[in-house]
Amino acid sequence: MQKLTIFILALLVGAAYCGYTQKLTVQVFDQSLRPVEGAQVYVEHQLNSVAGYVKTKPKLTSANGTVEIVFTNWEEIKSQTKYTYTLYVKYGSELKTANLVVDDPPIDRTYSMQVTAYFAVVSVRDQNGKPLPAKVTIGNRTIGTDTNGDAIFQLPPGKYNVRAEVENTVRNADLMLDKDKAITITIPRYRFELEVVDDFGLPVEAVAELDNQTKKVEGGKAVFENITNENPHLVVRYNESFKKMQLSLKTSDRMQLVFDKTPPKIAEMHHRIQKNGEVVVNVYVQEPGPKASGIASVVLSYEIQNKTSYVPAYTIGYNTFEAKIPPAPKDTIVKYLVKVTDKEGNSGTASGSYVIPTEKKPAEEKKKEEGILDKLGLEHYVAIAVVLGFVAYTIMYYRRKKREKEIEEEMEAARLPPS
């Protein structure tokens, strides 16, 4: 029994010397002998004569380009022990190999490999060139920018998408890496000042939304900062009204917004009836506030025999408008309403009415209705008097002529001698 134990121990001691453990330090450099971080390193070696060759789990090189691989051969029979192994270094799509041999007895070893790698320097700046704190992602690596706004990557050659993120804003850029390159990604950060007043220039309390920021407009003012979108959408709400627009912060970083609260007024309105029965309505309107939005439309509606119609009004001068109502039947009451609306939707109205009178009859027809004398008129009286005078004169003339003839005959008879 004692001899058996000694024999087994001898076998175990002999087995310990048949296999080996190799400690290998791998250094990976690029074509310019700069350390390469993130290269995959693994070894294919003999596990034993039964299992054959196996590969170790890949390990990544550190920032100084090194990694340590330790592997063990468990073969008990020295003659069947394989001391050769293969070193693999994979970087991007590039795979480098080296066939190595374990020393007998094994010693720690350092081995260097070269792969192709380039540096990409990504700078994140605002619209004024100021460095920004950002997260930069290329592939599966994300690096935060330093105090200079730079993120430095070492990568295999190839085409990449570069993603830079500042708060909730993301910008992307394409990068073809065939040499060391530097690119700049600009993410604007604007400041915007908003002033809200009414049509008299007085401050208005409102609520303003600029993209994803919401602020109360207090004392008529609100300030937005760290805006990354140079064309944000602005919505300002005041009571039941709101204004919506898209800004260009690259053009201007401040704005005064006016809510016109006062409706326009119709200061003067009058109409005149034309000979053809058409009626012309003239309107003079006023916008009271110095910051008023201005007149948008003037519309006239009129009612004839319970039927309502509309006609537009046309500008004929500063805030002066004119509309024309078609002729209406005689003795018909026409009612009309003028509505003026400003560009904010405020409106004012004024109304009026008129009657188209019955046309007057000629004087002679009126005289016929009142009597024959009245029907003739003054000129007819004069004509009759002239005719009567002429007739009387003619009668008197012929009577006088007749009398003169009679007298002449009597005188002639007196001069004759008696028979």
pLDDT tens digits, 75-109? 999 999 999 999 999 999 999 999 999 998 999 99
pLDDT tens digits, 283-302? 999 998 999 999 999 999 99
Sign, Cα dihedral of 268, 274, 280, 281:
positive
pLDDT tens digits, 256-274? 999 999 999 999 999 999 9
Residue 419 CB neighbours (<10 A):
3
At residue 104, the pLDDT reads 86
Which residues lie across from 112 on neighbouring strands?
Answer: 27
pLDDT band at 315 (very low <50, low <70, confident <90, very high): very high
201 sits in the region (left: phi over 0; alpha: psi -120 to 50; else beta) called: left
pLDDT at 344 over 80: yes
pLDDT band at 10 (very low <50, low <70, confident <90, very high): very low
Give the integer Cα–Cα distance in Å for 51 and 74.
10
Query: Which of 123, 111, 185, 120 is CA-nearest to residue 156?
Result: 120
pLDDT band at 399 (very low <50, low <70, confident <90, very high): confident
* Cα three-residue angle 296-298-302, rounded to 5 degrees: 155
Residue 189 in tokens: 């950060």
Residue 196 CB neighbours (<10 A):
24
Tell me how many helices (H) and strands (E) the chain has.
3, 30
Is the model more confident about 398 or about 208? Answer: 208
Strand pairing class (20-29; 52-55): unpaired
Query: Which of 352, 353, 370 is CA-nearest to residue 361?
Result: 370
- What mean pLDDT do residues 291-315 have? 93
- Put simply, whether the predicted model's pTM sits higher than 0.85 gets the answer no
Query: Which of 207, 39, 187, 70 is CA-nearest to residue 124?
Result: 187
Between the alpha carbon of residue 110 and those of residues 15, 23, 66, 335, the distances in Å are 27, 9, 10, 107
pLDDT at 253 over 90: yes
pLDDT band at 11 (very low <50, low <70, confident <90, very high): very low
Q: What are the start-end ranges of the H helices in 240-371? A: 363-370
pLDDT band at 387 (very low <50, low <70, confident <90, very high): confident
166-190: burial string, b at 16+ Cβ within 10 Å, e else: beebebeeebebeeeeeeebbbbbb
pLDDT band at 7 (very low <50, low <70, confident <90, very high): very low
At residue 6, the pLDDT reads 41
In contact, 338 and 314? CB cutoff 8 Å: no
At residue 226, the pLDDT reads 86
Is the model more confident about 408 or about 283? Answer: 283
- What mean pLDDT do residues 182-193 have? 94
At residue 359, the pLDDT reads 66
Residue 75 has phi, psi (to 5 degrees) of -70, 135
In contact, 187 and 134? CB cutoff 8 Å: yes
Non-local (6+) Cβ contacts of 256 within 8 A are: 195, 196, 197
Helix (H) / strand (E) element for 236: namely strand 233-238
pLDDT at 69 over 50: yes
How far, in whole angstroms, is CA 180 from its chain's centroid?
A: 40
